[in-house]
Structures are given as C-alpha cells and as structure tokens.
Amino acid sequence: DSGVTQTPKHLITATGQRVTLRCSPRSGDLSVYWYQQSLDQGLQFLIQYYNGEERAKGNILERFSAQQFPDLHSELNLSSLELGDSALYFCASSVETGPYNEQFFGPGTRLTVL
C-alpha cells in the first residue's frame, strides 16, 4: 500500500456525462500527478499540482480539468465523456516537486464509458 488513495475504484457512465475522480496523497506529500493509462498503452501524464497550484501540464484534453484543494487532495474532472476516455486513471504523489522525488501511485480508478 503506497498511502495514496483514490475513489471510486470503478466508474461506469455514459457518453456525454461528467465524472469526478478523487485522490488523497500520502500524508505530507505536496505534489499530486494525474496519469491516464489506456488499454495496452503506457502512462500518459495529464497534469501536476503542487501545494494547490498547477505546476505542469501534459496531454490533458480541454474537456478535462483538475484542482488541488487546501487539504492537498485532488480531483480530476472529466466532462463530455467519449468512448475513448475509457481508461485507468492513476494519481501519484511525491513529497516535493522537482526531479528525484519518487512518485507513489494510487490504486487507480477504472473508468468505463458506454
């Protein structure tokens, strides 16, 4: 157990809908990252937050947004969902930002869009 929690574990929804994925980082970790893992594909970096502020952006669609709250938990909002958004979404956290800080991954949220 990495200490990173994600809810829900599974989510099934329909095209066009909006969902929110939640992540609680390890105690003391200030940085949160979101990744998308599609079937048979690698981990695609979406976005990073550090102490409440957006720090880096990857290949995140405009339909997706995220935020990190004062208690350091983070939410990833996915809207106007499409079939291709079906994937495993991982959250990871690290103590600080910058290189060399190990990222600890949560168990993931499996999103299925029907």
Question: Which spans of this chain sit near other proteins (rule: CB under 8 A)?
Answer: 2, 31, 33, 35, 41-45, 48, 50, 55-56, 58, 90, 94, 96-103, 105-108
To the nearest whole angstrom, how small is the minimum distance from the Cβ of residue 23 to other proteins?
12
To the nearest whole angstrom, how small is the minimum distance from the Cβ of residue 14 to other proteins?
25
φ/ψ (deg, to 5) at 99 = -65, 165
DSSP state letters, 33-50: EEEEE-TT--EEEEEEEE
To the nearest whole angstrom, how small is the minimum distance from the Cβ of residue 34 to other proteins?
10
Residue closer to other proteins (CB basis): 20 or 97: 97
CA end-to-end distance (rounded Å), the chain: 31
To the nearest whole angstrom, how small is the minimum distance from the Cβ of residue 73 to other proteins?
18
Query: Which residues on adjacent β-strands are paired with residue 100?
Result: none
Residue closer to other proteins (CB basis): 70 or 100: 100
CA distance 11 to 79: 14
Residue closer to other proteins (CB basis): 85 or 89: 89
Query: Which residues on adjacent β-strands are paired with residue 13?
Result: 113
